[in-house]
Structure 1
Amino acid sequence: MTPGRWDPCVSHRGAETDGFVDDYFAAPDRRILLVGGAGFDPRSTAATTKLATTKGHIRGLFLQEERPNPQQTLVDRANVNCTVLREAVTDHRVAQVNIFGSDGAVVGGRNAVAAIGAEDLNGITDVVVDVSALSVGTAFPIVRYLVERSARTPPPFNLHLFVAHDPTTDGAIASISSDAPSFVHGFRGGSTLDGSANAAKLWLPQLASGRTSALGRLHSFVDPHDTCPILPFPALDARAGDRLAEEFLTEFESGWSVDTRNIVYADESDPLDLYRTILRLDNLRKPVFAEVGGSLLILSPLGSKVMALGALMAALERDLPVAYLEAISYEFDGSVAQEEPIDMIHIWLEGEVYPQPRPTLYNEGIAA
């Protein structure tokens, strides 16, 4: 069995994350590029304000995702958060990232990568990406670009991922999806290769409340042979998985034909749990379908950001396609959301902590 690139993985949660930040980033020789979202999400400032208290030199790149006709209340919230970010990191740049082009095409991933590519990384020891307020269509391409750039930039920099975990805030944010499913920029995987034309496609959608219509369009787009929905368990709300199963009961029984034995459960607060589960499924299917066209796993992370990180790591390692529906707008119930995150989760994705050489990463069949 192929060893996992992030098994074992250096990660921290809650108080462990605070201790790691205070210790590791306290060294004055740390030169840090901090990339985060300057959006309406109240969690967007948590990682930045924490890192700003350390002694390392920090330069900030704050991305503002621009969508057509946003609600003014969300714009006002985003402006307040952006002010907090700018005051916390005085050496910074704010970059506007248009998510949709003039023709309606999804271009946010490409624009975000272009913004990162314009940064001078000479002398940078650590790049921190806070995905708390970044969409999947923006965060996934950024992380892939930085993983690949680290590998070819001597000396390689350390790459860290942070996310503020708060299921209550996740539930307070409702996204209105576009009508055009597509693959996330840089994550087409083997879906378009001739060698995968006859592969048995297994779709792994991460379920989220209120997203039945969006996931229905994604199912039609992927057209899988089998579907294994991902439900959160264990979770802060012990009945969250049950309620999602009830919400998607029609899809389970008719549209997707899901056998209850094929439901995937993953720890809501641990991205490594879903990462290892996806790799285990991939390992089990490859020998089974090797003689009849192969196996292809397709991911759709529409739920919490924490679980999406697990999908991201698996997609990076196995070059898996990520089918996604970009949001054209959001609705946010600020009265329901927590003002402070429950947990801060840290993943040390690349860098000096891991022995070399490491398993090779692939991007659309080509070694990265």
Structure 2
Amino acid sequence: MDGFIADYFSGADRNVLFVGGAGFDPRSTVVATRIAAVAPALRALLLQEHRPKPPQNLLDRAVGNAQYLAATLVGAVIEPIDIFGADGAVIGGRNAVSVLARQDFTDLTDVVVDSSALSVGTSFPLIRYLVERIGQGKGPVNLHVFVAHDPNLDASIQSIAGDAPGYVHGFRGGSTLDGAASAAKLWLPQLAVRRRGALTRLHDFVSPHDTCPILPFPATNPRLGDELAEAFLTEFESAWSVDTRNIVYAAEDDPLDLYRTILRLDDLRRPVFQEVGGSSLVLSPVGSKVMALGALMAALERDLPVAYMEAIGYHLDGSIPTVTEASHLVHVWLEGEVYTQPRPKLHSESGSAR
């Protein structure tokens, strides 16, 4: 991946906008450092997600990361993003898109979104906005999404679930239409450690007819899938009524694996339920950021709703390093000149995908 970054972004014809997070996450600086080292023309928009009453140690980490990024990305604009409104409503995604929309896209060749240190509620709307701009011919030419993959760190960051489940901004799909009321609803929650409370509330919110939990396999920890299944055994057997044949396995480090799996499920269900109200898939990516990227790609292509519980806060053990450089980088070139134009769907009947 470092080779691709060095070869591609160092081109004299590249004019790049970098969009990322400037928060407490130790991965905040990983992608930015690499691109800043080679890109000759680079602007940066850094978003700081603001939640009520953050712990002081996380504030200190965020300040340190922001200072480092400001020094590395010369001229970077740092924008605070309120995740919750005064009434407790989730407004982070809408606020983030509003900030991004004020950017000047003239002459940009590439936009890089680094979702490593951004929540799903922030990164998904940003990426959707850019995909729609490109679809309308407004530019930029190329859209790249990067994730610094570190499943151990994902598990170490403990989120404090809010009490207001809802749909991510821009990802309601057809869930609110009258015609969707009779659709057979399949919920695809991505299971993750310490997320039982959030997933329980999301299940009640979605109220699905069936549930297909998503487990990581292969994974860095080869027993992680078994451990998660054991942790959610009560939900499997009672509240969710999960048949073991309906468990979905997807590679922890490859977003295309989950992306293809979701689309196959959608393709299989549509003809089965088309005469009885249709089929509706609802996604809930709450664990690995790489797997969440796979869910995002499927949601974009099929306009699937994404049900999500925005965190009101986080805890991170003080023993976790302030900055990490060991993360494995995952890159998805979502839109751009690498594809034939007009670009075909991400997934086709022939099974091709990107």
What's the TM-score once normalised by structure 2's chain length? 0.95
- For residue 346 of structure 1, give the secondary structure of its aligned residue in structure 2: strand
Structure 1 stretch 305-314 or stretch 192-201: which is displaced more?
192-201
Equivalences for residues 154-303 of structure 1 within 5 A? 154=138, 156-303=140-287
User: What CA distance in whole angstroms lies between the structure 2 residues aligned with 1:82 and 1:153?
Assistant: 33
Once the two structures are TM-superposed, the CA of residue 65 in structure 1 deviates from its matched residue by 0.2
- Structure 2 match to 1:345: 330
Once the two structures are TM-superposed, the CA of residue 269 in structure 1 deviates from its matched residue by 0.2
User: What CA distance in whole angstroms lies between the structure 2 residues aligned with 1:154 and 1:192?
Assistant: 29
User: What CA distance in whole angstroms lies between the structure 2 residues aligned with 1:341 and 1:38?
Assistant: 18
Q: 1:263 to 1:311 in 2, by over 3 A?
A: same
User: What CA distance in whole angstroms lies between the structure 2 residues aligned with 1:83 and 1:198?
Assistant: 52
- Structure 2 match to 1:7: none
Contact persistence 1:64–1:97 (CA under 8 A): yes
The correspondence for 1:118, drawn from 87, 94, 102, is: 102
Note if 1:73 corresponds to 2:60. Answer: no
Contact persistence 1:131–1:163 (CA under 8 A): yes
Once the two structures are TM-superposed, the CA of residue 335 in structure 1 deviates from its matched residue by 1.6
Once the two structures are TM-superposed, the CA of residue 237 in structure 1 deviates from its matched residue by 0.4
Once the two structures are TM-superposed, the CA of residue 258 in structure 1 deviates from its matched residue by 0.1
- Structure 1 match to 2:85: 101
- Structure 1 match to 2:7: 23
The correspondence for 1:310, drawn from 288, 294, 308, is: 294
Once the two structures are TM-superposed, the CA of residue 91 in structure 1 deviates from its matched residue by 2.1
Contact persistence 2:299–2:305 (CA under 8 A): yes
- Structure 2 match to 1:4: none
Structure 1 residues 124-161: Cα deviation after superposition (integer angstroms, max 9, x where no partner)? 10000000000000000000000001222445420000
User: What CA distance in whole angstroms lies between the structure 1 residues aligned with 2:138 and 2:129?
Assistant: 16
Contact persistence 2:133–2:139 (CA under 8 A): no
Q: 1:231 to 1:138 in 2, by over 3 A?
A: same
- For residue 146 of structure 2, give the secondary structure of its aligned residue in structure 1: strand
- Structure 1 match to 2:307: 323
Structure 1 residues 3-57: Cα deviation after superposition (integer angstroms, max 9, x where no partner)? xxxxxxxxxxxxxx11110101111221000000001010010000000111431
Contact persistence 2:105–2:140 (CA under 8 A): no
- Structure 2 match to 1:333: 317
Contact persistence 1:43–1:341 (CA under 8 A): no
Once the two structures are TM-superposed, the CA of residue 194 in structure 1 deviates from its matched residue by 1.7
Note if 1:89 corresponds to 2:66. Answer: no
User: What CA distance in whole angstroms lies between the structure 2 residues aligned with 1:124 and 1:58?
Assistant: 10
RMSD: 1.2
Q: Percent identity?
A: 66
Structure 1 stretch 200-209 or stretch 148-157: which is displaced more?
148-157
Structure 1 residues 330-353: Cα deviation after superposition (integer angstroms, max 9, x where no partner)? 000142468333301110000111
User: What CA distance in whole angstroms lies between the structure 2 residues aligned with 1:72 and 1:259?
Assistant: 44
What's the TM-score once normalised by structure 1's chain length? 0.92
- Structure 2 match to 1:51: 35
Contact persistence 2:20–2:47 (CA under 8 A): yes
Quick one: which amino acid aligns to residue 170 of structure 2?
G
User: What CA distance in whole angstroms lies between the structure 1 residues aligned with 2:232 and 2:172?
Assistant: 26
Contact persistence 1:200–1:295 (CA under 8 A): yes
Unaligned runs of 5+ in 1: 1-16, 362-368
Unaligned runs of 5+ in 2: 347-354
- For residue 182 of structure 2, give the secondary structure of its aligned residue in structure 1: coil
Quick one: which amino acid aligns to residue 357 of structure 1?
P
User: What CA distance in whole angstroms lies between the structure 2 residues aligned with 1:353 and 1:340?
Assistant: 28
